[in-house]
């Protein structure tokens, strides 16, 4: 059995009047992510971590922001496509651990919903996917509520 790890990071600017998607669910917030897709930083970080662990290129290679086909796309669709790429390479997901950095909104009460949504798409048990959130104590762009960042680590198992 061969195991591989991956790390993914994504950052998006926040602006008023846009929808705020995080972990596959829409959150109530007065700002949303500026992006070519729906701007779900958590899914994007997970995709990059999965792709990297499998020895594949980054998310922008497969779903470029210059391609009109991905304009406004639901990031859950991108995640499903990444999972299919992994399956073709005979990888299964062991676990995923994530951290989201944002000042507001508080998301603790929504992380289980995010985990359930993402675990179903990935085909893993909800206990194999963790999501934690932290503020940056009002420091940096996250603390000033100018943007949000997400980090994900994954463990893949070669079948």
| 144 annotated to a ligand binding site | yes
Q: Is 17 annotated as a binding residue?
A: no
The contacts of residue 19 (CB under 8 Å, 6+ apart) are 26, 32, 38
CA nearest to 132, candidates 104, 107, 95: 107
Known binder of ligand: residue 11?
A: yes
Q: Is 16 exposed, middle or buried (0-12, 13-18, 19+ CB in 10 A)?
A: exposed
Does 111 carry a binding-site annotation?
no
Task: Tell me which residue of 82, 88, 91 sits closest to 46, measured CA to CA.
Answer: 82
| 130 known ligand binder | no
Q: Quick check: 132 and 63 in contact, CB under 8 A?
A: no
Tell whether 124 is in a known binding site: no
Residue with tokens 């059995």: 1
Q: Read off the tokens for 155.
A: 């463990």
Q: Is 97 annotated as a binding residue?
A: no
Q: 58: annotated binding-site residue?
A: yes
Confirm if 53 and 6 have CB atoms less than 8 A apart. yes
83 is in an annotated binding site: no
67 is known to lie in a ligand binding site:
yes
Is 44 assigned a ligand-binding role in the annotation? yes
65 labelled ligand-binding: yes
Q: Which residues are annotated as a binding site for a divalent metal cation?
A: 10, 12, 44
Q: Which residues are annotated as a binding site?
A: 10-12, 36-37, 44, 58-60, 63-67, 134-137, 141, 144
């Amino acid at each position: 059995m061969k195991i591989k790890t991956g790390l993914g990071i994504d950052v998006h600017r926040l602006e008023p009047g846009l929808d705020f998607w995080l972990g596959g669910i829409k959150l109530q917030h007065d700002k949303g992510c500026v992006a070519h897709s729906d701007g779900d930083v958590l899914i994007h970080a997970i995709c990059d971590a999965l792709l990297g662990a499998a020895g594949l290129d980054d998310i922008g290679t497969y779903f470029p922001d210059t391609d009109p086909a991905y304009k406004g796309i639901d990031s859950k669709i991108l995640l499903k496509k990444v999972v299919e790429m992994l399956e073709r390479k005979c990888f299964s997901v062991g676990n995923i651990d994530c951290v989201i950095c944002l000042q507001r909104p508080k998301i603790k009460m929504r992380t289980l919903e995010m985990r359930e949504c993402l675990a179903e798409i990935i085909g893993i048990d909800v206990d194999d996917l963790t999501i934690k959130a932290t503020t940056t104590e009002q420091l940096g762009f996250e603390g000033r509520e100018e943007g949000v960042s997400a980090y994900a680590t994954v463990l893949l198992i070669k079948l």
